[in-house]
Structure 1
Amino acid sequence: MKKEILLLKGNEALAYAAVRCGCDAYFGYPITPQSEVLETFAELQPWKTTGMVVLQAESEVASINMLYGAGGCGKKVMTSSASVGIALMQEGISYMAGAEVPCLIVNVQRGGPGLGTIQPSQSDYNQATRGGGNGDYEMIVLAPNSVQEMADFVDLGFELAFRYRTPVMMLADGVIGQMMEKVVLQPQKERMSDEEIAKRYPWATTGCKNRKPNVITSVELVPEIMEKHNLHLQAKYREIEENEVRYELSGSDNPVLGIVAFGSAARISQKVVDLAKAEGIEVQLLRPITLWPFPKKQILEMASKVKGILTVEINAGQMVYDVRYTVEGRVPVEHYGRLGGIVPSPSEILEKLKTML
C-alpha cells in the first residue's frame, strides 16, 4: 500500500496510523473527546486485513491490564482515553513501567478536576510528566500539535517504546483530536510474527520452546534486588534524557520575549508571534515536542536572549513550574491560560505578553 492523503480528524488519523504501522492490538473504552478512535477502528475493521485485534474493554482499568498482558508478549499494543480514563489507568501504567513493558497510551485531554467537562484542556500535564502512578518511574510523553503529528507519533511512539522498553504517552487534547486536516498516511507495515518477536525481543513471554521461560513482573520482595532494578531504570531514564529530547523553534532569532507552549496552545501562540511582530515586538516560540524528556538546554538558551518568558497552557499553570525550575531565576517566567474548556485567543495572549516588556 502506497502513501495516501486523506482529510481526517486527529482521532481518526490516530486509528488509521495504528493500522498502517502494524499495531497488533488496541484495547480501549469510549470517552469524549476521543470516542472516534474506537469508532474508526470499527469502520476500518483491521482484523480482516492485518489481523489486528480491536476490543472495547469493559473499563479503562481492564484496557490497561490487557496492554500489560499483550505488551509483555512483545506485541505492539495501544490504548486511548481522555483525562479521567487515563487517571484510572495509572496503577497499570506504573506496573508496566516497573516491568519494562512497551506500549502506547494516547490521552486526548478534557477539562477537570474530576469528571469536569468534555471541552479541551491541557490540565493532564502533571499527570503525564510526573507519573500519576506510584514509584520512581518516568514515561516518554509526546505532544502533537497537528493531525499529521497525531498520525506520525503513533509510529514514533512505538519505536521509542520498544527501543527503551517503556510506556510512551501521546498527550493530545480535544482541539487536536477533533480538528480536521490533510494527513499523509505512510505505507502499510507488516505485523511481526510470533517467531520474529521471540527472536528480536528475548525478554518477551512468547513461550519457552528452545529457550528459558520468561516471567514479566513489577514486584520484587528482596530490597537489594529491587534497588538494583530501580537503579537500572534510573540509568535508562538518564539515557532517554540525553538522546530523545524533541522540540521546535520558530519566530525571531533575536527575541525580546519568549513563549513556551505545547500542543494546541503552541498553534495559537504561533499566531501571537506574528501579531507581536506586526507591532514591532520580536518574540521566539519554543514548542516542546517531548514533554518528558523536557527541553531544558533549549529553554536555558532562550532565557539567555530574552527579558522574560511566557508559558501558554490551557490550564491553571503546570508546565510553567518546569520552565521556572529550568531557568533558575535568570529571567521572569509568567503563565497565561484559560480554564473550563475555554481556549485562549491570540489577542488576549498578546496583551499578557505586552505586560512583560
Structure 2
Amino acid sequence: MGKVLMKGNEVIAEAAVHAGCKYFFGYPITPQSELVAYMARRLPEVGGLFLQAESEVAAINMVYGAAGTGVRVMTSSSSPGFSLKQEGISYMVGSELPAVIVNVVRGGPGLGNIQPAQSDYFQVTKGGGHGDYNIPVLAPASLQEIVDLTRDAFDIADRYRTPVILMGDGMLGQMMEPVEFGERSEIQEYNKEWATTGTRGDGGPKIITSLELDADGLEKRNWNLQQKFAVIKKNEVRYETYLIEDAELIMVAFGTVARITMNAINKARNAGVKVGLIRPITLWPFPEKPFLETRERVKTYISVEMSAGQMIEDVRLAVNGHAEVDFYGRTGGIVPTQEEIYEKIMAVARGVSV
C-alpha cells in the first residue's frame, strides 16, 4: 500500500487495525465520530468485532472485559466522553490491563464546543481517575506520526500491562494528509499467561480485579505499580528538538500547536532571534532530558498551548528555577496562529511583557 489521503480519525482506526486491534467499543462524539464509523465498517473485514456501546461508561467497561482476555482492544472519545471513562480507566490500571484509549480533545470545560483544544492535559497526565497512578500518553503532531504512535501504543500497553492514551486535538482528528501504512508487520507476541481465557488445564481459574480489601495487600500492589511506572519513565520517553543547539529562547509545544510554533520559529530565526523548540511526544512520561541539557544557558522557555496553561507546570518542574518560564495560550477551541506565536517570541526576545 502506497500513500493514501485520509482524515486523522480514520488514520488512527486503520493504524490500530494494522497493529492487530480487532475489538473496538465506543460511542460517537464530535470531533472523533469518524473513528467510530470507520471501525464499524473496517473491523468485520478483518474478522474483528465492533460494538457501539450505549454510553462512554459502558464502552470503557467493555474494554475492561475484552482486555482481560488478552486481546488488543481500543476505545475512543472526545473530552466530555473521556471524562466519563475515568472510573473504568482507574479500574484497568489497578487490574493491570492493556488497552489503547484515544482522546480527540475539544474545547471545555463542560460541553464546551467541538473546536480543537489541548485542555485535557491535566486529566491525561495526572491520573484522571482516583488512586495513585499514571498512564503513558502519546501526542502525535502529524497524521503519519499517528500511524507510528498508534502501533507503539499497543506495544507499550502489552509490554507493561497498562492502558495507554493516544491524545490529539480536534484539528488533528479532522485534517487530511497523505499517509503510508506500509506492509502489515507481524504482531509481536507478549506473555499473557494472566489472561482469562479459560483454565484448559493450565493451573486453574484466573481472577482479574482491582479490589484488595487488605490494607497491607493494597499498599504492596500500589508500590508494585509505582515500580512499573518508574520503568516506563526510564524506557518510554519520546520527544523531538528543533534548533536548540544555540538557542537562547526555547519554545515548548506538542501536537499540532508544535507544527504552528515551528513555522513561527523559522520566521523568528530569519529575524535574527536564536530560538528553538522542544516537542514532547510523550506527555507522560514528560521529557526532562532536553531541559536538563539546556536550562543552564537558555534565558527563557515559552510553553505554547491550546489551554489556559497546563503543560507549563511540567515545564517549570523540568526547568527547576534555572531559567524564566513564560506562556502563550488560546482557549475555548481557538488555535494560536503563527503570527501570534511569532509576536510572542519577538516580544520576549526584546524583553517586552505580553
SS at match of 2:28: coil
Q: Work out whether 1:120 is the aligned partner of 2:116.
A: yes
Q: After TM superposition, give the deviation of residue 173 of structure 1 in Å.
A: 0.5
Q: After TM superposition, give the deviation of residue 253 of structure 1 in Å.
A: 1.8
Q: 1:89, 1:237 → 2: CA distance?
A: 21
Which one is further off, 74-83 or 296-305?
A: 296-305
The residue number in structure 2 matching 1:202 is 193
Please, which of 24, 36, 39 is the counterpart of residue 37 of structure 2? 39
Answer whether contact 2:40 2:51 (CA < 8 A) is retained. no
The residue number in structure 1 matching 2:102 is 106
The residue number in structure 1 matching 2:242 is 250
After superposition, the Cα gap between the structure-2 partners of 1:43 and 1:73, relative to the gap in structure 1 and judged at 3 Å, is: closer
Q: Work out whether 1:139 is the aligned partner of 2:173.
A: no
The residue number in structure 2 matching 1:69 is 65
SS at match of 1:221: coil
Answer whether contact 2:26 2:36 (CA < 8 A) is retained. yes
Q: After TM superposition, give the deviation of residue 189 of structure 1 in Å.
A: 5.2
Q: Which amino acid aligns with 1:209?
A: R
Answer whether contact 1:23 1:191 (CA < 8 A) is retained. no
Answer whether contact 1:109 1:174 (CA < 8 A) is retained. yes
Q: Which amino acid aligns with 1:42?
A: A
Q: 2:270, 2:165 → 1: CA distance?
A: 37
Q: After TM superposition, give the deviation of residue 151 of structure 1 in Å.
A: 2.0
Q: Work out whether 1:7 is the aligned partner of 2:5.
A: yes
In the TM superposition, what are the counterparts of 1:174-213 in structure 2 within 5 Å?
Answer: 174-188=170-184, 200-211=191-202, 212-213=204-205
Q: 1:252, 1:315 → 2: CA distance?
A: 24
After superposition, the Cα gap between the structure-2 partners of 1:25 and 1:189, relative to the gap in structure 1 and judged at 3 Å, is: farther
Q: 1:320, 1:191 → 2: CA distance?
A: 37
Cα RMSD of the aligned pairs, angstroms, is: 1.4
Q: 2:274, 2:23 → 1: CA distance?
A: 47
Q: 1:184, 1:58 → 2: CA distance?
A: 34
Q: After TM superposition, give the deviation of residue 24 of structure 1 in Å.
A: 2.2
Answer whether contact 2:141 2:258 (CA < 8 A) is retained. yes
Please, which of 16, 20, 27 is the counterpart of residue 18 of structure 1? 16
Answer whether contact 1:147 1:183 (CA < 8 A) is retained. yes
Answer whether contact 1:259 1:312 (CA < 8 A) is retained. yes
Q: Work out whether 1:218 is the aligned partner of 2:207.
A: no
Give the alignment's TM-score, normalised by structure 2: 0.95
Q: Which amino acid aligns with 1:106?
A: V
Q: Which amino acid aligns with 1:234?
A: Q
After superposition, the Cα gap between the structure-2 partners of 1:284 and 1:191, relative to the gap in structure 1 and judged at 3 Å, is: closer
Q: After TM superposition, give the deviation of residue 67 of structure 1 in Å.
A: 0.6
Aligned sequence identity (%): 53
Q: 1:63, 1:299 → 2: CA distance?
A: 39
Which stretches in structure 1 are left out of the alignment for 5+ residues? none
Q: After TM superposition, give the deviation of residue 170 of structure 1 in Å.
A: 0.5
Give the alignment's TM-score, normalised by structure 1: 0.95
